[in-house]
């Protein structure tokens, strides 16, 4: 068979050989063979392995689609992710260095989405096989916290009761301070006797709240997450930082950046990850598109002690970004947009007189675009940090400070 040499990895972790052809599970410099299907090499065999190749720590690595870099050493993965960030910035003409990096430990992920299907004998919960709708169990998963893995039998029981043989139920499960917060999507309607059965299951030890599609089944205890000492009940299934370690590293980076500010705007605030820690030393005005998140944020602020004033408004910052005259009331801005970035809002920030911006991003490409806008407007980027909450995947998060 034809032999190929892997030239590099793309930003999503796939190997690239001349052509270009793409191949999973390889490393730069490796010589491989395999069958070419369209633009991919499938089922590759490694003829000459890289010095950075290691035995995958997870027994599910070859089949599970959740992690795609378990075959690489920790040092290689860290260097690869740094190179993705720096290359995205260099493409925009920005030369800089990463001053620090934080990698979450194994078995630290507190939130996961399980896929569960009915079987002839019951149900099977797990993750999808790579590039497939097939679900496989992952009892030895190396990223999930133990409480999430322990929830699998309960998810399977719920699926036997409320799933179809043809469909799939998606369970978003979050470990909180008070127990598991479970959101099920894709099952049969929660009506009659079935609703009563769900309520009985929700009453079991370890479950804080169970929501079935849009129906709140039961709240045994209010699920609580800790944002630097401020406890918040998030909406069912809402976005949270994947690990508590990663969350705390980001909070530290953000609060360091805005130190000394008296009036802070938090844009794309979610349910208060940065707003509430920032309120220890500054008055905060939070803006978020979803009102349910704003309600959670404000309820958390009311429960907390020792925080300064926090105001919050539901506002679509993509369609209606804050204008310069609104922004100029603040000493500092925190901004943590979705993967697409926040180009419309960043353009308005660039027109403002705000001195300090703490920016967080989960996408190096959109981050680089937004950073270029700020730099061209007279801001200087400092303290670029990599926060790796997705230890064996190609995903990575970034924080940076911008000062006029």
Catalytic site positions:
362
Q: Which residues contact 4 (CB under 8 A, 6 or more apart)?
A: 17, 18, 21, 23, 31, 32, 33, 34, 41
Phi, psi of 282 (to 5 degrees): -145, 155
Secondary structure tally for the chain: helices H, strands E? 10, 23
Report, in angstroms and rounded to the nearest whole number, the Rg of the chain calculated over CA atoms. 23
How far is residue 299's CA from residue 20's CA, in Å, rounded to a whole number?
Answer: 52
Beta sheet of 8-9, edge-to-edge order: 3-5, 31-37, 40-48, 21-23, 15-17, 8-9
Residue 257 and residue 282 in contact, taking contact as beta carbons nearer than 8 Å: no
How far is residue 357's CA from residue 377's CA, in Å, rounded to a whole number?
Answer: 13
End-to-end alpha carbon distance in the chain: 58
How far is residue 198's CA from residue 205's CA, in Å, rounded to a whole number?
Answer: 14
Q: Which residues contact 322 (CB under 8 A, 6 or more apart)?
A: 265, 267, 287, 315, 345, 348
How far is residue 304's CA from residue 302's CA, in Å, rounded to a whole number?
Answer: 6
Q: Which residues contact 181 (CB under 8 A, 6 or more apart)?
A: 173, 174, 208, 209, 223, 234, 236
Structure tokens of 140? 């030895």
Residue 31 and residue 3 in contact, taking contact as beta carbons nearer than 8 Å: yes
Closest by CA to 266, choosing from 398, 257, 364, 248, is: 257
Chain CA centroid to CA 157, Å = 28
């Amino acid at each position: 068979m034809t032999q190929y040499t892997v030239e590099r990895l793309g930003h999503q972790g796939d190997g690239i050989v001349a052509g270009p052809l793409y191949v999973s599970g390889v490393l730069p410099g490796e010589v491989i063979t395999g069958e070419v299907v369209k633009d991919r090499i499938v089922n590759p065999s490694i003829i000459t392995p890289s010095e950075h190749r290691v035995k995958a720590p997870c027994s599910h690595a070859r089949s599970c689609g959740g992690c795609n870099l378990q075959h690489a050493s920790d040092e290689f993965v860290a260097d690869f992710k740094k190179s993705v960030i720096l290359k995205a910035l260099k493409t925009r003409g920005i030369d800089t260095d990463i001053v620090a990096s934080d990698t979450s430990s194994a078995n630290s992920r507190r939130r996961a989405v399980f896929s569960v299907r009915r079987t002839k004998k019951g149900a099977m919960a797990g993750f999808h096989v790579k590039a497939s709708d097939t679900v496989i169990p992952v009892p030895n998963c190396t990223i999930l916290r133990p409480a999430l893995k322990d929830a699998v039998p309960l998810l399977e029981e719920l699926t036997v009761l409320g799933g179809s043989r043809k469909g799939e139920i998606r369970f978003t499960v979050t470990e909180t301070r008070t127990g598991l917060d479970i959101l099920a999507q894709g099952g049969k309607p929660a009506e009659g006797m079935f609703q009563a059965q769900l309520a009985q299951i929700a009453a079991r030890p370890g479950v804080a709240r169970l929501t079935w599609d849009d129906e709140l089944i039961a709240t045994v205890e209010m699920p609580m997450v800790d944002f630097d000492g401020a406890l918040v009940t998030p909406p069912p299934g809402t976005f949270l930082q994947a690990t508590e370690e990663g969350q705390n590293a980001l909070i530290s980076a953000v609060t360091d950046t805005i130190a000394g500010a008296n009036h802070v705007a938090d844009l794309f605030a979610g349910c208060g990850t940065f707003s509430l820690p920032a309120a220890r030393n500054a008055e905060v005005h939070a803006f978020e598109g979803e009102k349910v998140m704003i309600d959670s944020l404000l309820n958390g602020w009311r429960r907390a002690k020792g925080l300064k004033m926090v105001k919050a408004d539901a506002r679509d910052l993509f369609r209606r970004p804050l204008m310069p005259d609104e922004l100029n009331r603040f000493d500092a801005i925190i901004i943590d947009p979705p993967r697409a970035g926040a180009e419309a809002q960043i353009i308005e920030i660039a027109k403002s007189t705000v001195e300090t911006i703490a920016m967080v991003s989960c996408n190096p490409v959109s981050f680089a675009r937004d950073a270029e806008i700020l730099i061209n407007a007279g801001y200087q980027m400092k303290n670029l940090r990599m926060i790796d909450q997705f230890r064996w995947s190609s995903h990575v998060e970034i924080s940076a400070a911008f000062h006029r």
